[in-house]
Structure 1
């Protein structure tokens, strides 16, 4: 891999450039700001060998693949040229901020047969593979219900900036808990199959003072009538990310932050199937990128495909038909 383009100058783009430099030290990394505006303070962009202002200019650099790490509302604008030119693209999650852009991206991928993956990197967490194996082997018997909860305090995500100015806090940029925390929805469909929305409650709490949903509760079901309760929020000061799966043969508890998986038998006996709290989670991103550059259309897993990411946007579109409740103190 000799020439790689990275769109975006935010934290995730910075991570991608750093990882590329470490794993492909001789590669030329060409960076483009999400809105095409080069830094005015002449501050050096970390791990960028060259800066350009547009996708057109980036494509003239003869890049071999591109990473689109811009706001979701710009994903179509930034990715379509690469897709039409047959240049492989890794698009950060979510696929887009709107259903219209998502459909257009999927259409372009199928028409041009370009390799495109979506950055749902939690699939590369080792404990994710363990949970998937347990479910596939039916070690919990018939599944009854699943409880999924993630909570992260939005102001703590990027403490060096005003969170109100971040993409996550602005509806027009594709913010809100549904899109920003859609990892949980992707994992749920990857592990349980396509999900149907039964009910949703969307709230915007006064504490954060944003125009997006910062607290979401969902009731979902799959074709086997497994019920999934999903809670997403921007409010919990102590980060929380856990699953509990209950079946006829026992239950499973999964802590994604501690990277641990524990089963509980019908008699109450606990067995730790996997525990690696010290595992470097940056490896999710490096393994995802390595899988992306080595993959073909016949070997996508566990990479998230465009069609899988589109199904998440379709689910979110259905959820957003429910009213946003503006709560008061």
Structure 2
């Protein structure tokens, strides 16, 4: 029998910036929160959180769900342990840094009937939900191409930390813009459908003193025939995120920073067609997504906001981009299996 969100017991694995955000939101939503930390600064956690020193013991306890918020290269190991223990899962993006273990996770989740959400919180963004609905209703007619871009100077991401020591700086830890900024790859598929073919170019930047790629230009051909171009970087002096979708009947443009969508219909001047609600802040995305996860634990028939199979497909696209850049050739994401 499902329990109510206010009596839900949730274990958060990882207490970095995203782990702490999830902890705060879970507490606000009335969940009972435990946390397993890999870092010595865990004493800064909210006093309402129960720290657990042994991950295996915590997974064997009566927690209802596990939030996997540790390093990318550790995601799959914890997810598999939790799934084998029959725990529902909220998995931070990206799902993993390789396809190893993905098939087992999919099979275990299905066998045990687990509720899973992947951490693509932009699926809760008011502008994007509006765009998705309008595209489904044929606002632009046939979609021809899409462009999505996001970037920010990496040292500015987390003030007070050394970006050269973070996971983003190291290939073995799942760093680099392709994994770190994977949301844009996800949005292409979420809005326009499956990706059939990938080509990519990537480069490092000596100014950052990291080994991972600092810029990625990724070309996608969708199963529908539409094309997409995704730009990701650690170098932009100020934060920027934008998207453009071009169809037979017009052009939709989204500015994340402004929270505005504009439409340039055929033969007409651009006009604002959607804006985020007054008072909207970034954490609303995470809070809305976590609330939905808890609601699904109570009512498992509710559809996922960010399903596991879609997260797997996005991981395949990211891995295909890396392979394409390395081999200088087209790569089909479907060829990459776990």
1:126 alignment counterpart: 126
Q: Deviations over 1:51-110 (max 9, x none)?
A: 112322213441121111001111122122321222211011111111113333223222
TM-score, length of structure 1 as denominator length: 0.91
Structure 1 position 137, deviation (Å): 1.1
For 1:104 and 1:60, locate their aligned partners in 2 and report how far apart those are by CA, in whole Å: 19
Query: Is there any run of 5+ residues in structure 1 with no aligned partner, and where?
Result: none
Alignment of 1:160-199 (within 5 A): 160-199=160-199
1:46 maps to 2:46: yes
2:273 alignment counterpart: 273
Specify whether residues 76 and 141 from structure 1 end up closer, same or farther in structure 2 by C-alpha distance, changes over 3 A only: same
Q: Deviations over 1:219-251 (max 9, x none)?
A: 111122111011011110111110111111111
Please provide the CA RMSD for this pair. Answer: 1.9
1:7 alignment counterpart: 13
1:310 alignment counterpart: 312
1:28 alignment counterpart: 32
TM-score, length of structure 2 as denominator length: 0.89
Structure 1 position 283, deviation (Å): 1.1
Contact map agreement 2:25 2:290 (CA 8 A) in 1 = no
Q: Deviations over 1:103-144 (max 9, x none)?
A: 332232223221111110001010011110121111112111
Contact map agreement 2:193 2:224 (CA 8 A) in 1 = no
Q: Which of structure 1's runs of 4+ aligned residues deviate more than 4 A?
A: none
Of 294, 299, 303 in structure 1, the residue corresponding to residue 302 of structure 2 is 299
2:287 alignment counterpart: 286
Specify whether residues 275 and 47 from structure 1 end up closer, same or farther in structure 2 by C-alpha distance, changes over 3 A only: farther
Aligned length: 318
Contact map agreement 2:140 2:249 (CA 8 A) in 1 = yes
Contact map agreement 1:17 1:47 (CA 8 A) in 2 = no
For 1:32 and 1:236, locate their aligned partners in 2 and report how far apart those are by CA, in whole Å: 34
Contact map agreement 1:263 1:270 (CA 8 A) in 2 = yes
Specify whether residues 323 and 253 from structure 1 end up closer, same or farther in structure 2 by C-alpha distance, changes over 3 A only: closer
1:87 alignment counterpart: 87
Specify whether residues 80 and 48 from structure 1 end up closer, same or farther in structure 2 by C-alpha distance, changes over 3 A only: farther
Range with bigger deviation, 167-176 or 181-190 = 167-176
Contact map agreement 1:213 1:324 (CA 8 A) in 2 = no
Specify whether residues 42 and 177 from structure 1 end up closer, same or farther in structure 2 by C-alpha distance, changes over 3 A only: closer
Contact map agreement 1:170 1:210 (CA 8 A) in 2 = yes
1:228 alignment counterpart: 228
Structure 1 position 42, deviation (Å): 7.9
